[in-house]
Amino acid sequence: MTELDPNVSLRTELTRILQGIDLEKHSEQIAELRAAYPNSVEIVQLADLRVDFNCVMFALELIGSVEPPCSVLGRYHMDTNFLLYLIQEGYLLLTDKAKPGALAIYSGNGEIRHVGIVLDGGRIRSKWGVGHIYEHGVWEVPDTFGGEIRYFDAINPDKAFALFRIFKGWES
């Protein structure tokens, strides 16, 4: 099942906040945003810049599994291309509803842009950019994450890591 985005203005403002360099101001800026755009976005874990990971590594529970996490060009080894591989190869199975523990995969223009974990009550927990970990409603995300969402059953982290090594050609 694919859902479409009903929340464009809030999402544009969340993008503006996310693109701001000063992570310490994100909480204050989101609180201020509530006056114009009621929302339930919460920072649940502050960024620790000593630990580098992205939304894919967070959602697949693979933080720290690849060191260094980025190539010499600064791109994460484990990125949305890996999620696409898991989907295309049938390792991530589409589910018809958002159930706790499922992966919520956001896309736009046919490209995967973001992933989070579905919580009880349908909220999502996800890592935004180089910043914090947030809990939010399904569409309470920056518009750069895309305007479509699909849900997939989660994959065991050990299996995901083994598949990642194959995906990268590090193992056959």
Structural domain spans, the chain: 3-167
Res 86 pLDDT > 90: yes
Mean pLDDT of 81-90: 97
Residue 41 tokens read as 């976005």
Span 41-76, pLDDT tens digits = 999 999 887 788 899 999 999 988 877 766 665 667
The candidate with the shortest Cα–Cα distance to 154, out of 100, 108, 107, is 100
CA distance 47 to 119: 20
Res 153 pLDDT > 60: yes
Contact between 79 and 56 (Cβ < 8 Å) = yes
Parallel, antiparallel or unpaired: strands 103-108 and 42-45:
unpaired
Of 4-13, 85-94, 115-124, 155-164, least confident by mean pLDDT is 4-13
Which pTM value belongs to this model? 0.90
The candidate with the shortest Cα–Cα distance to 115, out of 41, 53, 30, is 53
Query: Apex CA 6: angle with CA 78 and CA 151, to 5°?
Result: 40
% residues pLDDT > 70 (the chain): 91
Contact between 27 and 95 (Cβ < 8 Å) = no
CA distances from 150 to 37, 49, 102, 138, 169 (A): 25, 30, 10, 11, 28
